[in-house]
Structure formats: C-alpha cells, structure tokens
Amino acid sequence: MFTALKWFYNGCSHYTSGGFKKAESQFNPNDLQVDISHRNYLITGSNSGIGYSAAMEISKRGGRVHLVCRNREKGEKALNEIKLESNNENVFLHICDLSLIRDVKIFSQQWLESGQTADVLIHNAGIMNNEREETSEGIEKTFATNLLAPFLLTKLLLDNQKPEQRPLDMKQRVIIVSSGGMLTQKMSTDFEFKRVVTEGKKWDGMQAYAQTKRASVYLTELFAQKYPTTNFFSMHPGWVNTPQLESAMPTFNRLTKRIQRTPQEGSDTIVWLAISPTVEDNFSALFFQDRHPVDKFISNSNTESPAQDVEKLWSYLNHYYESIPNYYPSSASSASN
C-alpha cells in the first residue's frame, strides 16, 4: 500500500499533462531535426492512442512508417488519416494479431523476405483484460500480447536478417512501451498467471498488465546484454487519455481525467527515442520518462527481482521461440542467443 501511494503521489506531479509541460520546457528542439526519410519505423498497436500519435508524428517528419495492427478496418482508417494529415505516402499497413505466435511468424517472415531494413521497432501494442483469457493457441492473452509478442518479433527479425537488412548509418533501435504502473510491482515468475487458475485466485487484470510491463523492462535489459550492436530502450508515457485507459480502468480514469496527458504528450518520448541521434551511444537498456532516463524502482519498495528470476524470464520466453520451425532462408544470418 505504501508503494502504491508513493507511486500515485509521484504520478500526480510527473505523469500528468502538467508534468509533461514542465519537462518539455527543457527539451532540445534540435534533437528531432533529423532526415529520417530513408528509415523504416515499425509500430505495433498503431491504429489508436499513443501508437497512432507516434505514427502520425514520425510520418509528418518524413519517416517510412509501418502500422502493425490487429483489426483491418481500424488499421485502414488510421492509415488513410495518417497519409492525409502527414502528406506522406510512405505509410503502410500490416495486419497481425500479436497475441498469436502464428501471426507473428508470418509477419516477420514476410518482412524479412521483403528485403527491407527494420531500422526502428516500436513495441506499443498492449492489452488489459478484465478476465483471464487464453488465445486460440492456449496462451494467456495478456502475457502473449504484452510480453511474448515483443520478444518473438524482436528475435525473429534480429536473428534472421541478412547483413543488407541492417541500417548502415545507425544502430537498429527497439523501443518497448512500458507503464508507470509497473513501478508498483515485483516481477512474478508465474509469467502466464497460471496460479490464478490452479489456486482459484481472483483475476486482477490491472496487476497482470503491470506485471507484464515490469517484465518488459527486464526484457529490455536482457536484449541489450545479448545484442550489443542494437539499441534497446524502455519507456513509460505517463497517464494518457486513451480508449484503453477509459475502458480498462474506469475509476482511475475518472480520478485523473482532468490531469491526463494527450496522446501526443504521451508519445513524445517514443518519437524522441526513435529519431534523436543523442541516444545512439550509452543509453541502451535504460528506462525513459519525458526524454530522460529514470529509476526503474521506487525507493524502499522491495520490487527488484534477483538475477535468477530475470534469467528465468528469458528462458521461459525463449522456450516459445525455440519451438518455432526454422522456415527462414538459410542465407539469413542467425544469432546464437
């Protein structure tokens, strides 16, 4: 309870629209004055909320933006809006249900076969379910979408790309969108929340969401260790006015409605991490808020996990990766991680 109260108090000062505006006064506008017209930006969950806002801003700045969305109708609507408002024809839609390993496999294979570079991969898609739900593949859906999909998509693209599919003028970047709510959580090794079923516990969708977001911060660190030639960043957008917040956390949404950030304010750090050259060196594995690295733990909260639990996370996710058939061309370079 003390940790949650401390988090809420801190959030009222820093995670709000007012907190963003205060931080914004210190931003360097030159950080985003970069020619990105030759770079590909893959953004999951980009038909609404902060993913849509990030896609719009990067499109306006001339990037080649790839919307990775589950729903075709919503994706096409976002595609047309972004093209029209940004005056950028280099915006593309890919349909992929990230909760399904099958779809992640197909998308990554199609991308690699296209020969394009995956310059910046932004893992924004996330869900918060009010009930425990399993996918058609028998995997808990919050875990599958928020944690397993970023892991699989990142490894499938990095492990199987050819040398010419790596950007020449920068390190590849992978950005994982976490949540400030993860600061209240210590990572459980019950990654798919199976004890909820076996022990008859009540499902807590908010906690499950925060657990996957805590784990995703550790995942960023693990990737940075194992792939030193790629930059990995995690960030949280603050309290943002999005459809998901309104539907999944109605009470919290009512309490914070007047001080919430706009999607544009929430997506600013995503755009900065995706574009700015200032993060090219010495920033991999860090956790960002409003263009600055911040602590990953609330002081005296006892939310830090031992190293063996963090390694269990990698092993658990890698088990799924190793079960995927090797259908990629033999000419692709394969990592040994």
Long-range contacts of 106-109 (CB under 8 A, 24+ apart): 107/68, 107/153, 108/152, 108/153, 108/156, 108/157, 108/160, 109/156, 109/327, 109/328
Calpha distance 224→66 (Å, rounded): 24
DSSP 139: -
Rounded distance between C-alpha atoms, residue 54 and residue 273, angstroms: 11
φ and ψ at 40, to 5 degrees?
A: -100, 130
Residue 327 falls in the annotated catalytic set:
no
What contacts 37, CB < 8 A, 6 or more positions away? 62, 63, 64, 90
Given the residues 15, 41, 209, 218, the one annotated as active site: 209
Helix (H, G, I), strand (E, B) or coil at 259: helix
Geometric angle at alpha carbon 114, from 159 and 171, rounded to 5°: 50
**Burial, 219: exposed, middle or buried (Cβ in 10 Å; 0-12, 13-18, 19+)?**
buried
Q: How far apart are CA 129 and CA 127, in angstroms?
A: 6
Sequence letter at residue 71: N
Alpha-carbon distance 43 to 176, whole Å? 10
Asked whether 107 and 96 are in contact (CB, 8 A), the reply is yes
Q: Which residues are catalytic?
A: 209
